[in-house]
Structure 1
Amino acid sequence: MGNAQDLIDRRRLRRKLGFWRGMAILLVGLVVIGLPLALWSAQGKGTRGDSIAMVRVEGLITEDEKLLDLLADLKDDASVKAVILQIDSAGGTTVGGETLYKAARSIAEVKPLAADVGTLAASAAYMLAIASDHIVAHETSIIGSIGVIFQYVDASVLLDTVGVTVNAIKSSPMKAEPSPFNPAPQEAKDMIGRLVMDTYEWFVALVDARRPFDAAEARRLADGSVFSGRQALANRLVDGLGGEPEVRRWLEETRRIEKGLPIIERKPEEDGGLGWSIFADARAFAFASLGLDPRAETLPEALFGAGGRGGGLVSLWQPR
């Protein structure tokens, strides 16, 4: 009887030891896996201490909700003492530029904001750059292309060639004009011209307000021309030449940011693979370059709209 009870006790003890051994292994596993993740998260979100956030703005500029969310988070993050926008873009939609400009200005109201231009900051990308308090570019960067463009497709000759006729019943002559199915009437061209010039005046006013020259100089520089970094500095479109070290120097010497703070790249949340992202950016850029809706998923949707949604204005540098 005693031997049987001893056997039962030993089995109970082994079960208890096995349970606690399993718990110990689980705890060690959590520490091994969780600690690097916590450190990575802290580095990415600036929770390990004060830092300078760097945000890349590249490719076609559109209404990027994830990027806007990131900028809003950086504005409210007390551990982020300054923000650097690293810009390399030919521009994009005017609404995309406007929304990013306003989000950037919101940051600049509470903490230093600088722009570090790489190869290119043109059109809507320059609109974003002037939201910062200090713009640095390389000597051979391409800067400017201040202006607005509206492009539309006239496929009427092609349709005639293949024998396709498109008819429309409209509530008024200017509805859905200019149309890709027919040559644009002069009234439609005048209407679009007024739209383009109104947006252009708004863009020039931003440049006048944000750069250290008067309205006449802003208008002179806003003829769509692009400038090298050296020319842009001479024309006061940028504030200095260089890169990240020059931006850091300005932050530390002019804005009194603590010396030696780490510059940590912050990225918007991603929900797609790299291949799809590259394909989507290329498609959007191609559509915008043709004056089509960059949000369109297919060429017919870009040409004819989706759910009645038409195209829009773009501020995009397009060398020919």
Structure 2
Amino acid sequence: MHRKKWIALVIVLLVFLAGITVEGVAGTYAALRDHPAISWEENVVSGSGNNKIVQLFVSGVISGTQNATGAPSMTEVISEQLRRVEEDASVKALVLRIDSPGGEVVATDEIHSRLLRLKQVRHIPIVISMGSTAASGGYYLATSGDAIFANPNTLTGSLGVIFNLVNYNEAANKLGIHQYAIKSGRFKDIGSPSRPLTDPERQIFQTLVNESYNKFVDVIVNGRNLSRQRVLEIADGRVYSGEQAKRLALIDQFGDLEDATHHALSLSGVENAMVVRYADQLSLSKLLFSMKQHWSNPDPLGIARVLERDSSPRLLYQFMP
């Protein structure tokens, strides 16, 4: 019994020290290289030899926001993976598997810029493989590819920007709830949910949306070699199937992840290569970090994330039915 108490005490101490370590490394981007949540090892999927083709995965909503437990955001994780690809001279091509409805404008653009940097620095081909959904910001990332593969039933398109504002003015008035804003300028409380949106405020938001939309159009024009007029015709926010996208020249070929990988090998200039993925590395620090995430999560039901999404409007390249 005495031995069990000592073991329990050691475990508690290790978790405590891991918590301190995690807090310390989460402060700067440079420290992400040693973050327990970004601890990977290379898993060989197929092939052999000294050359590599790396498969990376963008899954879910694209976000630059860390979760409540301080785990790195998607932007940080993907950027770190792309840094490793960039610094590995044995990597001859990249296959990016996208299964995402898109997400935040800034986070999407940051990952896209990192992909373009990889092409400029390493001059390696990037081949895109679309999953069930690669819409809006997901397609934004796809434009970085030298070739885009999709399934005929892939949901893509939704080319555009959305900016949602929640308004509870009428409900608040019925309940006798009033909010008074003491402000330094007429637009300081722009978008307030407690009063109607004015026409000048709507125009301000529309200008922001238009700027992000024009950036999206530019990305498609440059990435897909289409005329701006043609892109404006098809980028009206609607979603397309893979079949429709191919007819519109938004994708190149039908095929799955394996087909995209074979094509990447053909573009790489090498005859043989290992196909590798970055998988979570099992380690004590990884285990302790996961335990810390589980025990210290102040929002296990995700309620705060829902409330934050409603109260913190942001520009989105996201398919939102």
* TM-score range relative to shorter protein: 0.7 to 0.9
- Could you tell me which amino acid in structure 2 is paired with residue 165 of structure 1? H
TM-score scaled to structure 1, two decimals?
0.73
| Cα distance, 1:232 vs structure 2 | 0.8
1:107 alignment counterpart: 118
Flag the 1:230–1:106 CA change in 2: closer, same or farther, 3 A.
same
Tell me if structure 2 keeps the 8 A contact 1:122–1:142. yes
Corresponding letter in the other structure for 1:139: P
In the aligned structure 2, how far is the partner of 1:67 from the partner of 1:258? 28
TM-score, normalised via structure 2 length:
0.73
Q: Which residue of 2 aligns with 1:264?
A: 276
Q: 1:235-274 maps to which residues of 2 (within 5 A)?
A: 235-259=248-272, 261-267=273-279, 272=290
Contact 2:43 2:279 in 1 (8 A): no
> Percent of pairs identical after alignment?
28
Q: Deviations over 1:20-49 (max 9, x none)?
A: xxxxxxxxxxxxxxxxxxxx94547xxx94
Q: Deviations over 1:56-97 (max 9, x none)?
A: 101110122122111111111112221111100001011111
- Shift, 1:237, TM fit: 0.3
Shift in CA distance, 106/272, structure 1 to aligned 2, threshold 3 Å: farther
CA distance in 1, matches of 2:87, 2:301: 33
2:101 pairs with 90, 107, 113, which one? 90
Distance 1:282 1:220 in 2: 42
Q: Does 1:163 align with 2:163?
A: no
Quickly say closer, same or farther: Cα 1:272–1:312, change in 2 above 3 A: farther
Structure of higher RCO (CA pairs closer than 8 Å, 6+ residues apart): 2
The alignment partner of 1:254 has SS state of: helix
Residues 87 and 117, structure 1, Cα contact 8 Å, conserved in 2: yes
Measure the CA separation in 2 of the matches of 1:258 and 1:225: 41
The reply on whether 1:127 has 2:140 as its aligned counterpart is yes
| Structure 1 equivalent of residue 52 of structure 2 | 51
Question: How far, CA to CA, are the matches of 1:134 and 1:222 in structure 2?
Answer: 20
Judged with a 3 Å threshold, the aligned counterparts in structure 2 of structure 1 residues 212 and 302 are, in CA distance, closer, same or farther, namely closer
- The answer as to whether partners of 2:127 and 2:146 remain within 8 angstroms in 1 is yes
Q: Please state whether the residue corresponding to 1:165 is helix, strand or coil.
A: coil
CA distance in 2, matches of 1:75, 1:158: 53
Structure 1 residue 221 displacement after superposition: 1.3
Residues 1:223 and 2:236 are matched in the alignment: yes
- Alpha-carbon separation, structure 2, partners of 1:134 and 1:147: 22
Kindly provide the CA deviation profile for residues 225-268 of structure 1, in whole angstroms up to 9, marking residues without a partner as x: 21111111111101111012321332233342333x23222258
Q: Structure 2 stretches of 5 or more lacking a match?
A: 1-39, 65-74
Number of aligned residue pairs: give it: 260
SS at match of 2:95: strand
1:267 to 1:175, Cα distance in 2 relative to 1, 3 A = farther
Q: Encode CA deviations 1:156-213: one digit per residue, 9 max, x unaligned.
A: 1221222211111111111131111111111100100111111111110111111032
- RMSD after superposition: 3.0
Unaligned stretches of 5+ residues in structure 1: 1-39, 287-295, 305-309
Task: Compute the displacement of 1:104 (Å).
Answer: 1.1
Q: CA deviation at 1:297?
A: 4.6
Structure 1: distance between partners of 2:101 and 2:226? 24
Aligned residue number for residue 79 of structure 1: 90
2:78 corresponds to:
67
Q: 1:268 to 1:71 in 2, by over 3 A?
A: farther
Query: Contact (CA 8 Å) 1:114, 1:135: kept in 2 or not?
Result: yes
Deviation, 1:108, is 2.1
| 2:265–2:271 Cα contact (<8 Å) kept | yes
Which residue identity lines up with residue 317 of structure 2 in the other structure?
S
Q: Which residue in the other structure is 2:165 paired with?
A: 152
Does residue 1:183 correspond to 2:165, yes or no?
A: no
Rounded Cα–Cα distance in structure 1 between residues aligned with 2:263 and 2:238: 28
Partners of 1:108 and 1:128 lie apart in 2 by 13
Structure label with greater radius of gyration: 1
